[in-house]
Amino acid sequence: MRIGTESGLTAADTHGILLRPEHEVLQSSDSLEWQSFYASHQREAPYADTFGGNDHHLIIVHLNGPVRIRRELSGERREARIGTGGLFILPAQRDFGVALMSPLETVHLYVHRKLIAATVRELCDDAMDSVEFLPRMGEHDPLLEQLARLACTMIKERQSDLFADSVARLIAAQLVRHHALAKRVELPRITGLQPSQIARVRALVAEKMEAPISVDDLARAANLSPIHFARQFKRSTGRAPYQYIIEQRVERARDLLRGDLPIAEIAVRCGFTHQEHLTRIFGRTTGVTPAAYRRSLR
């Protein structure tokens, strides 16, 4: 989702919990320029503090435990013993206080407010101002836990904003469906895309191969909302939109590797951010590096 934050979300866009000196950040998406959400994996030391509201929605997933947590929110204090997989969900623009009683390993996810608003427009009859997002403390949501652990793998693999956007959409949809009070719309049946819609999507990907392509772009080509498009596209093709884009970029790279263009130039022409990005994705898809693939053709 192109939200106008050219450099992507970073720790500077968070509450500042992770900037405290006693915490050890193991990995984060700071340098990956993910626009739809921010992720970090850290060991937190015991601390107590208060924080002002943030523009984005926070999800914390506990990777170990149990630990005791005290939270102050809207004038109410609550204390709980939270085990592995327990959640701490804080909606945007909510001041809060927290006290962590013992060391804890966590994943923090910040989901961009604009993605949440777009998801509400797709999934709810209510206007954004009428939707109440629910704070959570200790509850379990297996999908959010799975996506938080996936985010750690994504950081390690330095996944692109395209992949991150698809994961952010799953997180946003889960928040709206299961952690908010709203009148939800009934989603259209999953019947697949029409041949004309698939043709327009394929033409767009081929035409814009060198440029950043988002699910929003593909959905507009098919004249559908992003969530509806992603469901119908997977029904028609058996894969997610981002997977299709990656496949097409790798296929274009295979064709160009038959010539003499420098691999760095091929990376740019196929929409990869740099040569290392192409090498990583090409290797994961084909089992060989671009250079090795080129040598095999000679």
Mean pLDDT rounded to a whole number for the chain? 91
What's the token pair of residue 105? 């390993």
96 shares a domain with 27: yes
Please report the pLDDT score of residue 5 as a whole number.
Answer: 45
75 Rama class: left (phi>0) / alpha (psi -120 to 50) / beta: left
pLDDT band at 214 (very low <50, low <70, confident <90, very high): confident
Please report the pLDDT score of residue 259 as a whole number.
Answer: 92
Please report the pLDDT score of residue 240 as a whole number.
Answer: 86
**How many angstroms from the chain centroid is the CA of residue 83?**
24
209 shares a domain with 115: no
Among 152, 181, 210, residue at a domain's last position: 181
Q: Considering the domain boundaries, does residue 2 fall inside one?
A: no
212 shares a domain with 88: no
Please report the pLDDT score of residue 2 as a whole number.
Answer: 53
Q: Considering the domain boundaries, does residue 103 fall inside one?
A: yes
Give the span between the Cα atoms of 117 and 92, in whole angstroms. 11
Q: Is residue 71 within 8 Å of residue 137, measured between CB atoms?
A: yes
Q: Considering the domain boundaries, does residue 6 fall inside one?
A: no
**How many angstroms from the chain centroid is the CA of residue 173?**
11
CATH number at residue 231: 1.10.10
Instruction: Spell out the residues 6+ positions from residue 123 whose beta carbon is closer than 8 angstroms to its own.
Output: 173, 176, 177, 182, 184, 185, 187, 227
pLDDT band at 103 (very low <50, low <70, confident <90, very high): very high
Q: What is the pLDDT of residues 51-75, one digit of tens each?
A: 999 999 999 999 999 999 999 998 8
154 shares a domain with 20: yes
Q: Considering the domain boundaries, does residue 3 fall inside one?
A: no
Give the span between the Cα atoms of 3 and 8, in whole angstroms. 9
Please report the pLDDT score of residue 187 as a whole number.
Answer: 65
Please report the pLDDT score of residue 127 as a whole number.
Answer: 74
- State which residues form the domain around 27: 11-181
Give the span between the Cα atoms of 222 and 189, in whole angstroms. 16
Please report the pLDDT score of residue 243 as a whole number.
Answer: 87
pTM (predicted TM-score): 0.83
**Percentage of the chain lying above the pLDDT 70 cut:** 96
Q: For residue 124, what is the DSSP state? A: B
133 shares a domain with 56: yes
275 shares a domain with 156: no
Q: Is residue 30's pLDDT more than 80?
A: yes
Give the span between the Cα atoms of 167 and 172, in whole angstroms. 9
205 shares a domain with 156: no
241 Rama class: left (phi>0) / alpha (psi -120 to 50) / beta: alpha
Across 12-21, average pLDDT: 94
pLDDT band at 200 (very low <50, low <70, confident <90, very high): very high
Q: Considering the domain boundaries, does residue 263 fall inside one?
A: yes
Give the span between the Cα atoms of 282 and 293, in whole angstroms. 10
CATH number at residue 282: 1.10.10.60
CATH number at residue 165: 2.60.120.10
Total structural domains in the chain? Answer: 3
Please report the pLDDT score of residue 273 as a whole number.
Answer: 80
Across 72-89, average pLDDT: 94
Q: Considering the domain boundaries, does residue 280 fall inside one?
A: yes
257 shares a domain with 111: no
pLDDT band at 146 (very low <50, low <70, confident <90, very high): very high
Q: Considering the domain boundaries, does residue 51 fall inside one?
A: yes
Give the span between the Cα atoms of 264 and 279, in whole angstroms. 10
251 shares a domain with 145: no
150 shares a domain with 104: yes
pLDDT band at 188 (very low <50, low <70, confident <90, very high): low
Query: What residues form DSSP beta bridges with 28?
Result: 40
Please report the pLDDT score of residue 63 as a whole number.
Answer: 97
Q: What is the pLDDT of residues 204-213, one digit of tens each?
A: 999 988 888 8
Across 129-151, average pLDDT: 93
289 shares a domain with 175: no
212 shares a domain with 117: no
